[in-house]
Amino acid sequence: MSPQIFTAGAGRFARNVGWFDLPRIIEHMPLWLRQPGVTVGEQGWTLLKVRGVPLRVQPSWLFALAIFTTLFQGRYATEVTPAVPASISWALGLATALLLFFSVLLHELGHALMAVREGVKVLSITLFHLGGIARVEKECSTAMGSLRIAAAGPLVSLLLALALLGSAESAGALSPLLTLLCTQLGLLNLMLGLFNLLPGLPLDGGLILKALVWKFSGSQQRGMQVASASGRALATLMIILGGVLMFQGGGFNGLLLMLIGWFGLGANRSQSQMLVLQKVLEDLTVADAAGRHFRVLESDQPLRRLSQLRLQDDDAKAPADWVLVCRGGHWLGWVDDQALRDLPVQQWDRQRVGDHLQPLDSLPSIATKAPLWQAIKAIESSDQGRLLVFSPAGLPSGTIDRMDLGEAVLKRLGVHLPPQILDEARRQNRYPMGLSMLPQIVASMPVSSENPASENSPGERSNS
């Protein structure tokens, strides 16, 4: 089984959240996509740190350790019993299981250290019941860098297999049991390395294929599509071969092959859905999502008018609407509530809104024609959690926040959520349920789409 979980189409959206399984996309994100907030690999016990990278173990790993220990003990029992006591076969089974997961850890460290060498920050490495996950900040920005990161893991496994199998005979001088242990671990690492090199997502070989297609076609998106299609074909073939093996008396091995193929299809489907989300974020613009959550005051109005506006606001809503200031149709700036807090109430009628202006440039902003993924990046890098939207003429035309983004994406996907859920997300200024991973989706988008030519920059504005 692959030591890391990468991601698992687009034409069959259900009208509810059931088929388009957004949380599952997070569950099967690639190693380079896992970010804070992702479920798998996020929790667990931190054992130690290697070059600043936390090594964690999830509680589910203990269950897998027990299962693998039992399986290996059964195999050793048939080979060494009655020559040695049953306790020895159990000790060998536990040692093999522990060393197998240690091999998985070394496999992941291979990915992680190569990622660091390529300038990609590694967030953590976690062992869990299906293997291991290396979480990194973002994908490598070059095709060959991505290839080297993907190939590092299988290379570590194959080198381990070579070393273990090569030393198995000499280890017999110490104990025949060591020969058995080295041979078993060597074969397991050989299977681990070769299986991961199969050319299809969610395996390392799929990432290598993606990187090669990216290199020769110049399109990272094309590479993902080819690797995803290859992964679907491989997973389907595993399910078919597993079924044939079961009918021929293969029993457990056939069932295991079918389960691996089924998991591969699920992971691949999640990858396909993630590609669809990326396409949606590229196709939609800020204009498709923007609302108008700001108020307008004339500069000669008293501060008391600002106080009256705030009294009309919904106390449960966060944050409060921006208040923009104009004079005779010309935009002058904006005003916050600091003056109301600093000045005594008696001065609210004498002080004018225009006396407390702040420039519009101090608000985080974006052009109305910008793609939606740019808005997500800008919002996540802003302390305000929302943006002021400027028209092509450089005039304020609206605002956009996380809920606006989420509603636009859900509408394009044809997904409907209950109004209560949407209202709660609006009050808390967060993405709707199932879309909290949008920043991570943006982080995974092809590098070529992160430097588009922009016809309208928010900095090119007019105030008339």
* C-alpha closest to that of 91 among 72, 63, 64, 67: 72
Residue 300 within a domain: yes
pLDDT confidence of residue 38: 35
Domain C-terminal end among 145, 166, 197: 197
Q: Are residues 321 and 425 in the same domain?
A: yes
DSSP collapsed to 3 states, 346-404: HHCCCCEHHHHCECHHHCCEEECCCEHHHHHHHHHCCCCCEEEEECCCCCEEEEEEHHH
pTM, two decimals, is 0.64
Range of the domain at 108: 34-197
pLDDT confidence of residue 311: 79
Domain C-terminal end among 173, 197, 221: 197
pLDDT confidence of residue 315: 53
Sheet of 330-335: strand order equals 294-298, 322-327, 330-335
The low-confidence residues of the chain, meaning pLDDT below 70, are 1-43, 80-84, 129-130, 313-319, 444, 446-464
pLDDT confidence of residue 266: 76
Residue 239 within a domain: no
pLDDT confidence of residue 314: 56
pLDDT confidence of residue 456: 41
CATH code of the domain covering residue 377: 3.10.580.10
CA gap 309, 318 in Å, rounded:
15
Sheet of 396-401: strand order equals 365-367, 386-390, 396-401
Residue 256 within a domain: no
Residue 119 within a domain: yes
Number of domains in the chain: 2
pLDDT confidence of residue 26: 38
